[in-house]
Structure 1
Amino acid sequence: MATSVQHDPAVAPNQTAAQPLDEQPEGRSKRPIILVILALILLVGGYFGWQRYQFGQTHEDTDDAQVEGDVYPIIPRVGGPVLEVKVDDNQVVKKGDVLITIDPADYQQRVDAAEAALAAAEANVTAARTAIGTAQANVSAARATIGVSAANRARLQKDLQRSTFLRKEDIIPQSDYDAVQANLQSTTAQAATAQQQVRVASQQVASAQQQVAVAQAVVKQRQTDLNNAKLQLSYTTIMAPVNGIVSKKGVQPGQVVAPGQQLFGIVASERTWVIANFKETQLENMKVGQLVSIEVDAYPNEEFQGHIESLSPATGARFALLPPDNSTGNFVKVTQRVPVKIVLDKVDPEHPLRAGMSVTATVKVK
C-alpha cells in the first residue's frame, strides 16, 4: 500500500520565500552600473555635442567642392590630313613638344606662290625706279637744250642787230638778213619746245615716283601674303602649349581634321585649386585669406591646408545654360550657392590632386 508523502508546512513556505530574497540583491547591484554608464554616455555626448556646436560657430564646411585645374584644348588652326600623332593618352609632355603633324604640302605650295609674287613685285619696284632715272635724264637733257637755245638766241640777236645795220647800209643782201632773222625765230621756237619738254619730263618723274610708291605698296602686300603663308605652314605642326598630361585623345594618323576641331586636351600638372560651392547663408563671415582645411576623398587619411583666394561675384545659377527667372510667376525660394576659389598652401608630390576630385572644404571664419 502506497504511502503519501506529506510536506512540512513550516518548511515549504520558508523555502519558497527564501528564493526571491537570494535573487533581489543581484538585480539591485546592476542598476547603479547601468545608471553610471548612461550618465557617462550623456556626459560624453554632451561634451562632443558642445564641441561640435562651438566648432560650427567658428567654421563653415561643404562637401559640394571639387579640385580644378587648367585644361588646355588642342585645336588645329588649319585643316588637312594628319600625318603623325606623337602622343598617347595619359602621356606626360613638356612645353614645345611636337604633338601632331598635319600634311604641309598644300601650305608649302602657297608659300612658294607667295615668294614668286613677292619677287615679281620687287622687280616692278626696280623697273619703276629705273623709269624715274630715265625721266630725270630727260629733264636734264631738256634743260641743257634750253641753255643752248638761250646762248644761240643771244648770239643771233646780236647778229640780227649787225645785219639790220648792214642791210640799211646795203652792205649785205636781203637774203642774208632774212636768214639771220629766220635763225633767231627758229632758236626761240627751240627754246620754247625745250621748256615744254622739261615740263613733260618733270611730270614723267612724278609719275614714275608714284609708280615706285605703288610698287612698294604691292611689295608690302606680297610680303604680308608670304608671311601669312609661312604662318599657315607653321600651324601644320602642333606643339604642346604647357607642361602637362595628354587626356582624351581623339585623333589618329590619316584623319582629316578641320580648324577649330578639338583633338584632345592637356591637363596642366603644375597648378591645381579647389572650387567650393558654399550656401549663401554661409558667406556672412567668409573673407579672402581665411584658412581652409581640405579633405580629399581619394586620400581619406590626409588633410591639406589652403586659404581663400577669391569669391565669385555671382552664384553658380547665374552662369547656368538656363538661368532661373523668378519673374515668370513660378517662384520657389532655393538657397543658392556661391563658388569660392581655394588655393593650396603647399603641394604634396606624394598625394597629387587631379582635376575633378571630390573634396570637403572647411573654412575657419572666426
Structure 2
Amino acid sequence: MATPVHQDPAVAPNQTYAAEPEQAEQPAGRSRRPIIFVILALVLLVGGYYGWQRYQFGQTHEETDDAQVEGDVYPVLPRVGGPVLEVKVQDNQPVKKGDVLVMLDPADQQQRVNAAEAALAAAEANVVAARAAVGTAQATVGSAQSTIGVSDATRAKLQKDLKRSQFLRKEDIIPQSDLDAVQANLKATSAQRATAANQVNVARQQVAAAQQQIAVAQAVVKQRQADLDNARLQLSYTTLVAPANGIVSKKNVQPGQVISPGQQLMGLVASDKTWIVANFKETQLATMKVGQPVTVEVDAYPNVEFEGRVESLSAATGARFALLPPDNASGNFVKVTQRVPVKIALTQPDPEHPLRAGMSVVATVKVK
C-alpha cells in the first residue's frame, strides 16, 4: 500500500504565500506595456520626422567637411645675398605694408654704387672730350677753307701775271726767266689749293668721326647710368619690407646669418581677407552655380555660423594639380570619385571670430 504523504502544516502556508506575489506582479507588468509602446511610437515618430527633415535638406543642400580657410600668404624672399644686419620683427607680430622686416649689410652693394658713380663720371667726361674734338675738327675745316680762298686769289693774280709776262716775253721786254718764275708760282699755287681742298675733306671726315664719338660717348653714359641705377636698386634690396598688411609667421632668420637670394626668411599671412575652399565631390556639382548662398561652420567656433556665397568653381579636379596626376590609361583602372575645389567668399566677416588660414570648416551650399 502507498503511504500517504502528509504536508507539513508549517511549510505549506509559506509556499502559498510565496506564490501570491507572483500573481500580484502580473498586473503591474501588463500596466507598463502601453507606456513602452507609447515611448517606442514617439521615438519612431521623432526619428521619422528627423529623417524626413534630413532627406528634404539633402535634396536642396550640398554639404562637405573637406573644406578649409584659405588666405594670402606672402613669402619674404631676399633678392640679394649677404649677412643679416638686423631683424626687426618677431613671430605672430602684426605689420603694415612698407614696414621694415629685415636689414642686410649694405657694404658690398654700396661699393658697387660707388664704382658705378665713378664709371658714370668718366663716361660724361668722354662726352665733353668728344664734343671738344668736334670743335677742333670744325676749326680745321675752316682753316683749310681759308687756305683754299687764299690759293684761289693768288692763282687768279698769277694767271693775270702770266698773260702779261707772256706778252712782254713776245716783245722781248722781259727775260725768259721771269716768265718761267711766274709759271712756277702758278703751278705752286695750284698745288697748294689742291692740298687745302684735301685738308678740307680730311677735316670734314674728322668732324663726322668726332660726332660719332659723341654718340658713342653718350651711349656709354646711358649704359653707365643704367649700371648706377641697377646698383642703387640692388642697394635698396638690402632692406626687406612688408609687401602687405599681415601677421609674421614661421620666421627663420637671425642677425648674423648669411642668406642667399631666394631663400625664404618668413611668411606674411594677410589678415584683411580670407575665403573658403571646399572640395565637393563631382557628383555634388550638378546643380551648384556661382552666387548660391553658403553656410559655413568652423570647428574652432562650434556655435557660430558664417554666411557666404559661391564665388567660383575650379576648372579642374584637385588631382590634376597633384605632383603626380593619375594616368588612367596605364595599369588597372579603378574609378574614384574626384573632388573639385569651390571657392566660397564670406559676405559678412565677424571681427570677434577671426578666421585663420588652414582652419577646418563644414560648408553647406543651398543649391535649390
Determine if the TM-score, normalized by the shorter chain, exceeds 0.5: yes
Match of 1:184 in 2: 186
Q: Deviations over 1:293-341 (max 9, x none)?
A: 0000000010000011111111111111121122222222111111111
Q: Which amino acid aligns with 1:200?
A: V
Q: Which amino acid aligns with 1:240?
A: A
Q: Secondary structure at the match of 1:84?
A: strand
Match of 1:338 in 2: 340
Separation in 2, partners of 1:196, 1:96? 67
Give how far 1:175 is off. 2.3
Give how far 1:68 is off. 0.5
After superposition, where does 1:289-300 map in structure 2 within 5 Å? Answer: 289-300=291-302
Q: Secondary structure at the match of 2:329?
A: helix
Q: Does 1:46 align with 2:52?
A: no
After superposition, where does 1:165-184 map in structure 2 within 5 Å? Answer: 165-184=167-186
Separation in 2, partners of 1:56, 1:30? 39
Following TM superposition, the consecutive aligned residue runs of length 4 or more in structure 1 with deviations greater than 4 angstroms are: 4-7, 11-24
Give how far 1:104 is off. 0.5
Match of 2:213 in 1: 211
Match of 2:3 in 1: none
Q: TM-score, normalised by structure 2?
A: 0.93
Q: Secondary structure at the match of 1:47?
A: helix
Separation in 2, partners of 1:326, 1:295? 36
Match of 1:309 in 2: 311
Give how far 1:136 is off. 0.8
Separation in 1, partners of 2:251, 2:34? 70
Give how far 1:12 is off. 11
Separation in 2, partners of 1:327, 1:278? 25
1:224 maps to which of 219, 223, 226: 226
Give how far 1:154 is off. 1.2
Q: Secondary structure at the match of 2:283?
A: helix
Change (3 A) 1:268 1:16: closer
Change (3 A) 1:216 1:31: same
Match of 1:200 in 2: 202
Give how far 1:186 is off. 1.2
Change (3 A) 1:178 1:245: same
Give how far 1:21 is off. 6.2
Q: TM-score, normalised by structure 1?
A: 0.94
Separation in 2, partners of 1:73, 1:19? 83
Match of 1:142 in 2: 144
In the alignment of these two chains, the number of paired residues is 361
Separation in 2, partners of 1:47, 1:250? 56
Q: Does 1:61 align with 2:63?
A: yes
Separation in 1, partners of 2:253, 2:348? 36
Aligned-pair Cα RMSD in Å: 2.1
Give how far 1:25 is off. 3.7
2:358 maps to which of 356, 359, 362: 356
